[in-house]
Amino acid sequence: MKAFRLMPVAIGIIALFTGEASAADPATVNWKSVPTKTVALFYPAQSTYQWLRGADHAGAPVVTGGGACLTCHKDAEEKLGNKLVKANKLEPTPVDGKNGVVKLNVQVAYDKENAYFRFQWKTNNPYPGEAYPFYRFDGKEWKTYGAQKLAAAVRKGEQPGVYEDRLTMMIDDGGVPAFAGQGCWLTCHNGERDAPNQPSAAEVKASPFFQAIKKADVRKYLPSTRTDELASWDKGKSLEEIAKIKAAGGFLDLIQWRAHRSNPVGMADDGYVLEWRNFDAGKNMFSSNMDAKTKQPKFMYDEKKVGKKALRIEDIRKTSTVLIRGQTAVPFDPNAGWKEGDLVSQYVVSREDAAGSAADNKEAKGVWKDGMWTVVWARKLNLTNPDDKALVEGKVYNFAFAVHDDNVTSRGHFVSFPATLGFGVKADIQATRLK
């Protein structure tokens, strides 16, 4: 851990020598001078794009016409979340003990080079969700172990509920029609994971559109990339048409701080939503820990640092479960005398491996204390990558926030209605200009 804390300093020194602007440390911002906006996030259950436009939603005609959710649902987050999180027509698989609402404290500042964000929210559990599902040795083979709480295996009690906490921002600069009024709900569709009418893996594989985009499951997408009025998952436009939408800026930035796969190396990921939920070009700070050829993990824990080569289920929530290359991870030894129940993480994390546009969020750090995450994050202004929405002084953006809490992924998160965020411009959330 020591080595990591020194890293920003090292980067600063390298920057001095290369004449490059240094990556700013968001922890050094005087956050007391930056106003806090509290945004209510709520559990959306299966309120998909298609449901919102269907006969069961009283607001369907207005939504179909591109109208804003807040026209009818202003200050309704608590009522919606507390109802939707329990069993109801939009929630076929409720998670026991789950809260319906999360209050997210948001602070935003900026200077010449960076936007700075600070977030705080309470977790439902008395521990940080830093673990990710594992590979478990069953005496013969390494098999996936643990899953998010919406998964059937967890609901049936066959697997423990394990997933990392996350903080997500979706950013639109006006390039995505209706995002200002309908936010994330443009991206959430029937057919996606844990949504209604989810196709089988074979059905996805047989879809010519999914063959063209080379994806094996359905994830967030924008209606503009589909051909039919209800934007069906499998009715995609041609790759050429989708490339044109992207070039014209018709996509959303989607950037995520992840408690397991990015936070331990002080980063957040960088993706975008268009025909799918893509990662930016380059390489993420996390990669699979499974060797496809040997069917064995690539890395195990460094015994000198972690005290053991593999964890056991009793260790979770007591010790860090993250495999950091060069710090807590060393190459896997197939002859280490593995025992049934041994666990290693499904991912290996590395700051040095991250590259290109996927590595833009180099300064994001969360600390969990007394039941609360505090995440600070710097994002460079004026990015020029074709898969980013450049944040620019003098401009206003539509933001949507999400938090994944208590071992869930996919739609098991809390989401906000969209809000405007301005850098030197009047907006729902106004970024404070730092000197």
Site string for ligand HEC, 164-193 (x = CB under 6 A): ------------------x--x--------
Query: What is the Cα–Cα distance from 121 to 227, expressed in whole angstroms?
Result: 39
- Nearer Cβ to ligand HEC, position 67 or 160? 67
Neighbours of 53 (CB within 10 A): 16
Size of the site for ligand HEC (CB under 6 A): 17
- Nearer Cβ to ligand HEC, position 73 or 122? 73
Question: In 146-184, where do the E strands start and end?
Answer: 166-172
Q: What part of residues 277-296 is at the interface with ligand HEC (CB under 6 A)?
A: none
With b for 16 or more beta-carbon neighbours within 10 A and e for fewer, the 170-195 pattern comes to bbbbebbebbbbbbbbbbbbbbbebb
Question: In 280-336, where do the E strands start and end?
Answer: 286-288, 290-291, 296-297, 299-301, 323-324, 329-331
- Nearer Cβ to ligand HEC, position 182 or 207? 182
Q: At closest approach, how far in Å is the CB of 376 from ligand HEC?
A: 30
Query: What is the Cα–Cα distance from 268 to 94, expressed in whole angstroms?
Result: 29
Contact in structure between 331 and 298 (CB atoms under 8 Å):
yes
Q: At closest approach, how far in Å is the CB of 69 from ligand HEC?
A: 3
Q: At closest approach, how far in Å is the CB of 71 from ligand HEC?
A: 4
Q: At closest approach, how far in Å is the CB of 221 from ligand HEC?
A: 16
Q: At closest approach, how far in Å is the CB of 148 from ligand HEC?
A: 21
- Nearer Cβ to ligand HEC, position 86 or 295? 86
With b for 16 or more beta-carbon neighbours within 10 A and e for fewer, the 370-383 pattern comes to eeebbbbbbbbbeb
Q: What part of residues 25-54 is at the interface with ligand HEC (CB under 6 A)?
A: 47, 52
Q: At closest approach, how far in Å is the CB of 293 from ligand HEC?
A: 45
- Nearer Cβ to ligand HEC, position 47 or 357? 47
- Nearer Cβ to ligand HEC, position 84 or 95? 84
Query: What is the Cα–Cα distance from 250 to 262, expressed in whole angstroms?
Result: 27
Scanning 249-401, the segments in alpha helix (DSSP H) are 303-306
Q: Which residue has the tokens 């593999």?
A: 310
Q: At closest approach, how far in Å is the CB of 195 from ligand HEC?
A: 13
Nearest to 285 by CA among 357, 214, 366, 385: 357
Q: What part of residues 302-361 is at the interface with ligand HEC (CB under 6 A)?
A: none
Q: At closest approach, how far in Å is the CB of 1 from ligand HEC?
A: 41
- Nearer Cβ to ligand HEC, position 61 or 307? 61
The dihedrals phi and psi of 185, each to the nearest 5 degrees, come to -65, -10
Site string for ligand HEC, 55-94 (x = CB under 6 A): --xxx--xx---x-x-xxx------x--x------x----
Number of residue whose CB is nearest ligand HEC: 59
Query: What is the Cα–Cα distance from 369 to 172, expressed in whole angstroms?
Result: 32
- Nearer Cβ to ligand HEC, position 79 or 112? 79
Query: What is the Cα–Cα distance from 294 to 175, expressed in whole angstroms?
Result: 45
Q: Which residues bind ligand HEC (CB under 6 A)?
A: 47, 52, 57-59, 62-63, 67, 69, 71-73, 80, 83, 90, 182, 185
